[in-house]
Amino acid sequence: MLTAFARAFKTPDLRKKLLFTLGIIVVYRMGTHVPIPGVDYTAVQQCMDEASANQGLFGLVNMFSGGALLQITIFALGIMPYITASIILQLLTVVIPRLEALKKEGQAGTTKITQYTRYLTVALAILQGTGLVATARSGALFSGCQVAGSIVPDRAIFTTIVMVICMTAGTAVVMWLGELITDRGIGNGMSILMFISIAATFPSALWAIKKQGTLAGGWIEFGTVIAVGLVMVGLVVFVEQAQRRIPVQYAKRMIGRRSYGGTSTYIPLKVNQAGVIPVIFASSLLYIPALVAQFSSGTSGWKTWIETHLVKGDHPIYITLYFLLIVFFAFFYVAISFNPEEVADNMKKYGGFIPGIRAGRPTAEYLSYVLNRITWPGSLYLGLIALVPMMALVGFGASQNFPFGGTSILIIVGVGLETVKQIESQLQQRNYEGFLR
């Protein structure tokens, strides 16, 4: 593998893409440490030190921003507005006929949907930036910190507007950097930035576990976490690569004097067809009641019940709801992202058929049957992987920001595999030995 990396850097075009990607990553990481105007950075650092073990409701978003959210920097919102906008547009494509028609138009339609995604990203950034500033001003961003209320000392409306504009502009810059990587670098830009954001929080999280450990100076806990992480990475790689290949044959057709078709291929149905989307959906949905309870005043019964059962990840009700929501959203997302009837119609249109299955409706029913069967183990796998931080919280008293959580491992392994495959394909185009043997 080291030899393949050396050969990749020896290839001029590939070296240029790799260095360009690394340069964009450096710029992105620098932006995550530049505070926005109107923020008392000393107070932020003091609260960060006090709340390092418990980031509460904002742990997931802070992870996706590479730790920039709780530091209230220009890249505080990170890539989350773009992820949310992309998911919303993908869901609306199934509901709105206009978007569905654009999706079928090919490159022109995809460009238009990408433009809509950018507009929606900016709108969501304004909304989330306003919410973050309001949360920081109220002191709820760092619950329990003595100086949390003085993070934003100037409460003037002009200062608030400037802070929101800076964070919105930062989100637009992050989106631009991701598109630059996609166009001129290696891999999918947004995925690479998400990968870097999550990986950047690993060293501090691992060292915090070592410092909080009690066995042999914390080294036993540190080694146990590393071993669990390696096992999880191996499991995720195994399942992410697993797929059911449905054979497809195309009948030979004569058009004029030339024959077409007569080839065999397959439809790859992954065991984890939904990816990490169900975990993000479930986490976001469970944050809503806890967020409402945090901003509501008084000590009503419903607020107490939510704070007891739906805020801490070690409660059985929270764990059960989280698991069930992941399973539900796995089936839901697979249902809207893979249409068996559309695939069957396209196969019939071009003379393709599954051996032993009639073309048309029987093919759609067969694809739906197979998809439902492999989605069950995929959804259960997602649920179990996502529950690892909960189990660590219950069994070892770890923080809710366990470094090898399900979401982080799934994203890191998935993006890493995809990026390596792209480098591998470019090396093979130049007749060089790649990473995969």
Which of these ranges, 57-71, 142-156, 328-342, has the smallest mean pLDDT?
A: 57-71
Asked if residue 55 has pLDDT above 60, the reply is no
pLDDT in tens, 391-413: 665 555 555 455 556 677 888 88
Report yes or no: 270 and 243 within 8 Å, Cβ to Cβ: yes
Decide which of 289 and 174 is more confident. 174
User: Order of strands across the sheet with 352-353?
Assistant: 264-270, 243-250, 352-353
pLDDT band per the 50, 70, 90 thresholds, residue 92: confident
Asked if residue 71 has pLDDT above 70, the reply is yes
pTM to 2 decimal places: 0.78
- DSSP one-letter code for 346: H
Q: Which pLDDT belongs to residue 295?
A: 61
- Mean pLDDT to the nearest integer, 298-326: 76
Q: Cα(389)–Cα(46) distance, rounded to whole angstroms?
A: 26
Mean pLDDT across the chain, nearest whole number? 79
Asked if residue 296 has pLDDT above 80, the reply is no
Q: What is the per-residue DSSP string for 251-280?
A: --EEETTEEE---EEEEEEETTTTTTHHHH
- Mean pLDDT to the nearest integer, 352-371: 87
pLDDT band per the 50, 70, 90 thresholds, residue 200: confident
Q: Is residue 206 left, alpha or beta, with left meaning phi > 0 and alpha meaning psi from -120 to 50?
A: alpha
Asked if residue 368 has pLDDT above 60, the reply is yes
Most confidently modeled range among 50-64, 124-138, 367-381: 367-381
pLDDT in tens, 220-247: 877 877 887 788 888 888 888 888 888 8
Q: Which pLDDT belongs to residue 42?
A: 81
Q: Which pLDDT belongs to residue 53?
A: 43
- Counting residues of the chain whose pLDDT is more than 70, the rounded percentage is 79
Decide which of 376 and 360 is more confident. 376
Q: Which pLDDT belongs to residue 171?
A: 92
pLDDT band per the 50, 70, 90 thresholds, residue 278: confident
pLDDT band per the 50, 70, 90 thresholds, residue 54: very low
Q: Cα(419)–Cα(188) distance, rounded to whole angstroms?
A: 8
Query: Helix, strand, or coil here: 246?
Result: strand
- Mean pLDDT to the nearest integer, 18-25: 90
Asked if residue 76 has pLDDT above 60, the reply is yes
